[in-house]
C-alpha cells in the first residue's frame, strides 16, 4: 500500500472505514457473524460443525459463499469495463447496500447480512492491479502483518522508515468505521444501512474522480 499514490491510499482508508461500519452492523444485528471478516465466519463454521450446531454452520457457509459471489461479480464488472473498473465496482457495492437498506424492513436479517457480505466481497475488487487485489479493504490481518514487517524494517535501518504508516491508517480507518457502525446500529437499528449506502455512493464518485485522473495522459 505504501507504493500507492496518496489520493488512492486515502480513498482506501475511507473504503476500509465503510467496511468496518458495515461489519459492525452485521455483527450486532446477527449475533456475532460478519459481513467482511471471513476468517471469523470460517471459525464459526468450524466450531458449528465440531459442536453439531448446524444452524451456525449454515449461516457461516452462506456468508462465505455470498462474500465470494461478490468477489466474482466485481471481477466480472471490472473486466467488462477495464478503463472504468474501480467506479463500476463501487457502483455495484452501492447497489447492493441500497438493496439491503431498502429491503431491511421486510426481509429476515440473515438475508440482509448475505447482501452485506456480497457487497463487502465486491468492495475488495475496487483497487486492483493486473487483475489482482492490490489492497485488502475488508480484512485487516494482512495489513497488520505488513505493518509489523515494515515497522521491523524501519527499526533495523531500512531506507523506507515510514512504510508502516499507511497500514496503520488502513487499520485505524476500519476500527473507526466499526465504532461509528456500532453507534449507528444502537440508535437506528438496520435503518443505519442507509448511511452505509450513502457513504458508498459518495465513495463511488470519489473513486470515479481518482480513476479519471489516473487515466489522463
Q: What's the CATH number of domain 6-210, 1.10.3470, 1.10.10, 1.10.357, 1.20.1250?
A: 1.20.1250
How far apart CA 97 and CA 38 sit, in angstroms, is 18
208 grid coordinates: 470515479
The residues facing 132 across adjacent strands are: 129
Torsion of CA 36, 84, 205, 91, to 10 degrees: -50
The residues facing 129 across adjacent strands are: 132
Residue closest to 17 by CA, chosen among 120, 115, 104, 114: 120
Q: How many other C-beta atoms are found inside a 10 Å radius of the C-beta of residue 138?
A: 26
93 grid coordinates: 457495492
Start-to-end C-alpha separation, the chain: 23
Which 3 state secondary structure label does DSSP give 158? coil
Distances (CA, A) of 1 to 134, 177, 205: 8, 19, 22
- 155-184 pLDDT, tens digit per residue, is 888 788 888 888 899 999 999 999 999 999
Q: Which residue has the cell 456500532?
A: 182
How far apart CA 21 and CA 176 sit, in angstroms, is 8
Parse the chain into domains and list their residue ranges.
6-210
209 grid coordinates: 474522480
Torsion angles phi and psi, residue 42, rounded to 5: -65, -35
Burial of 176 (0-12, 13-18, 19+ CB in 10 A): middle
How far apart CA 75 and CA 8 sit, in angstroms, is 19
Residue closest to 66 by CA, chosen among 25, 107, 27, 35: 35
pTM of the model: 0.88
pLDDT by position in tens, the chain (length 217) = 545 567 778 888 999 999 999 999 999 987 789 999 899 999 999 999 999 989 999 999 999 999 999 999 998 988 887 677 888 999 999 999 999 999 998 887 888 999 999 999 999 888 765 555 556 677 788 888 888 988 999 888 878 888 888 889 999 999 999 999 999 999 998 899 999 999 999 999 988 887 766 544 4
128-129 and 132-133: which strand pairing? antiparallel
**Do 95 and 110 meet the contact criterion of CB atoms below 8 Å apart?**
no
Amino acid at each position: 500500500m505504501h507504493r500507492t499514490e496518496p489520493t488512492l491510499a486515502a480513498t482506501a482508508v475511507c473504503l476500509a472505514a465503510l467496511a468496518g461500519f458495515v461489519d459492525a452492523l452485521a455483527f450486532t444485528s446477527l449475533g456475532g457473524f460478519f459481513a467482511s471478516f471471513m476468517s471469523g465466519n470460517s471459525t464459526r463454521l468450524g466450531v458449528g460443525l465440531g459442536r453439531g450446531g448446524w444452524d451456525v454452520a449454515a449461516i457461516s457457509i452462506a456468508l462465505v459463499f455470498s462474500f465470494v459471489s461478490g468477489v466474482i461479480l466485481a471481477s466480472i464488472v471490472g473486466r467488462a469495463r477495464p478503463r472504468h473498473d474501480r467506479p463500476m465496482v463501487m457502483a455495484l457495492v452501492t447497489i447492493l447496500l441500497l438493496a439491503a437498506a431498502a429491503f431491511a424492513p421486510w426481509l429476515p436479517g440473515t438475508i440482509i447480512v448475505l447482501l452485506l457480505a456480497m457487497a463487502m466481497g465486491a468492495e475488495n475488487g475496487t483497487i486492483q492491479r493486473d487483475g489482482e487485489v492490490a489492497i485488502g479493504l475488508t480484512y485487516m490481518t494482512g495489513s497488520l502483518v505488513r505493518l509489523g514487517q515494515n515497522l521491523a524494517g524501519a527499526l533495523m535501518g531500512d531506507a523506507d522508515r515510514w512504510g508502516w504508516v499507511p497500514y496503520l491508517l488502513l487499520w485505524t480507518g476500519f476500527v473507526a468505521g466499526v465504532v461509528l457502525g456500532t453507534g449507528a446500529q444502537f440508535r437506528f437499528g438496520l435503518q443505519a444501512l442507509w448511511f452505509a449506502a450513502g457513504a458508498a455512493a459518495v465513495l463511488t464518485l470519489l473513486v470515479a474522480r481518482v480513476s479519471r485522473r489516473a487515466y489522463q495522459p
